[in-house]
Amino acid sequence: MENNKISVNPCPGYRFAGVSCGLKGDGARDLALILSTRPATAAAVFTRNRFPAAPVLYGRRQRAAGTPLRAVMINSGNANACTGHQGEIDLMTTVEVLASVLGLSREEIFISSTGVIGEPFPVTAIIKGIEALEAAVAKDDAASAAALEAAARAIMTTDQVPKITGTEILTSRGKVTITGLAKGAGMIHPDMATMLGYLLTDAELDREVWQAMLERVVQKSFNRITVDGDTSTNDTVLALANGVSGCCLETAGDLELFEAGLLEVARQLAYMIVKDGEGATKVATIAVAGAASVEGAEKIARAVANSALVKTAFFGQDANWGRIVAAIGYAGVEIDPARVNIDFDDVRVVSGGMRDPAYREEAGAAVLRRPEFVVKIDLQAGEDDYSLLTSDLTHDYVSINADYRS
């Protein structure tokens, strides 16, 4: 998605809206609606942060109940986190109003919030915005593309661009569509989800199959990114399947094909989040191979990806590989340093735990001047591997977060 252009057509059977209700204070869109034209089977994953926001608590109850959903309302500018019982009361007030305006039951409505933690939830502003949402929602497929972009912009906080992608899949039952939208640029170190993500399809899927599929996909996509090592109180990924296509996916072949498409959409959104990381100028893949276990490979990848010293070296285009081996060493994984090799893209930097005899500093620095590169770490201790995406740590990241509430 370059130049803020939508790369896909919106999924059939969904309508969108994005309006301003004054939460951001600058006239920007801050309230979004996703509306399914028929009840949609829902699957969801949520943050494991021990301070879950009110909409996360509400969403967990909805997931347990298994009720099909019709509408998703998302506000930016206020997280409704650490707001106590009053925050839950305020959330239910907005649910009741939205249900009345849309003619739905409250059980059919899902809520997400993102923004500043600990501030009272702005119920009055959101209630005013609900009427604007209902008026703005796209009435047909022709209007959906612009409305989808409006919704994607309304859920942004420090994001610089909206994040939308999708795909079409030809199954044995016919063509199905997946559309994904997400927000996130800071507080990105997901644990079961990402900042906020929504995966929409017109396929029909069994609820338990859908939930298990989403959990697998999230582990391979949103849970493999980090911008700053901080896991949000509001992280949520919601997946809806409304069956508008008439294609019920049941066979192993169709489900495998569909899951591959869903994973590709989720990975594209995850990549967009890292690329749009607060102040980021680099996207780096940390790829650990030759590990004795997947768990060990993951610990090492995350230690390197979250190291402030490694990330600042990426920003400075400083091929300081000593910071990388230090992070590998403190990850808490048993390794043999004398067997570790490290490459920057195709440049061998470390051989056997020491500077490679043929390595030249300029060659490593040249790789780090690229906007995207891979740090390959081979432990030569087994057959397992793990990789994830990270960004650099810049002056702008500090400025953005120092001024976030100003």
CB 349 within 8 A of CB 364: yes
pLDDT value at residue 399: 85
pLDDT value at residue 189: 87
pLDDT value at residue 143: 80
Task: Please identify which residue in the block is written with the tokens 């009361």.
Answer: 89
pLDDT value at residue 271: 95
Q: What is the pLDDT of residues 116-135, one digit of tens each?
A: 999 999 999 999 999 999 99
The pair of three-digit structure tokens given for residue 312, joined into one six-digit string: 């600042």
Q: What's the CA gap between 92 and 111, in Å, rounded?
A: 9
Q: Does pLDDT of 11 surpass 80?
A: yes
φ and ψ at 27, to 5 degrees? 80, 0
Q: Does pLDDT of 4 surpass 50?
A: no
Q: What is the pLDDT of residues 178-212, one digit of tens each?
A: 999 999 988 888 887 768 999 999 999 999 999 99
User: What's the rounded mean pLDDT across residues 225-237?
Assistant: 89
Q: Does pLDDT of 5 surpass 50?
A: no
The mean-pLDDT minimum among 60-64, 122-126, 138-142, 151-155 falls in 138-142
Q: ∠ CA(28), CA(76), CA(242), 5° rounding?
A: 110
User: What's the rounded mean pLDDT across residues 376-404?
Assistant: 92
pLDDT bin (cut points 50, 70, 90) of residue 55 is: very high
pLDDT value at residue 229: 83
Would strands 236-241 and 196-201 be described as parallel, antiparallel, or unpaired? Answer: parallel
Q: What is the pLDDT of residues 189-198, one digit of tens each?
A: 888 776 899 9
- What stretch of H or E contains 252? helix 252-275
Residues with Cβ within 8 Å of 37's Cβ and at least 6 positions away in sequence, in order, are 13, 14, 15, 242, 244
pLDDT bin (cut points 50, 70, 90) of residue 354 is: very high
Candidates 370, 373, 367, 343; CA nearest to 355 is 343
Q: What's the CA gap between 133 and 136, in Å, rounded?
A: 5
Q: Does pLDDT of 67 surpass 90?
A: yes
Catalytic residue among 194, 226, 231, 390: 194
Three-class SS of residue 91? helix
User: What's the rounded mean pLDDT across residues 72-79?
Assistant: 96
Q: What's the CA gap between 48 and 233, in Å, rounded?
A: 8
pLDDT value at residue 405: 61
Domains of the chain from N-terminus onward:
14-275 (3.60.70.12), 283-402 (3.10.20.340)
User: What's the rounded mean pLDDT across residues 89-106?
Assistant: 98
User: What's the rounded mean pLDDT across residues 158-169?
Assistant: 94
Q: Does pLDDT of 8 surpass 80?
A: no
pLDDT value at residue 185: 86
Residues with Cβ within 8 Å of 266's Cβ and at least 6 positions away in sequence, in order, are 180, 197, 199, 217, 218, 220, 221, 222
Could you count the other beta carbons within 10 Å of the beta carbon of residue 322? 12
pLDDT value at residue 6: 41
Q: What's the CA gap between 373 and 130, in Å, rounded?
A: 44
Kindly list the distances between the CA atom of residue 9 and the CA atoms of 71, 149, 159, 257, 402, in Å, as whole numbers in the listed order. Answer: 20, 11, 22, 20, 38
Catalytic-residue membership of 67: no
pLDDT value at residue 404: 64
pLDDT bin (cut points 50, 70, 90) of residue 1 is: very low
- Helices 54-65 and 84-102 sit at what angle, rounded to 10 degrees? 60
User: What's the rounded mean pLDDT across residues 239-243?
Assistant: 98
pLDDT value at residue 2: 35
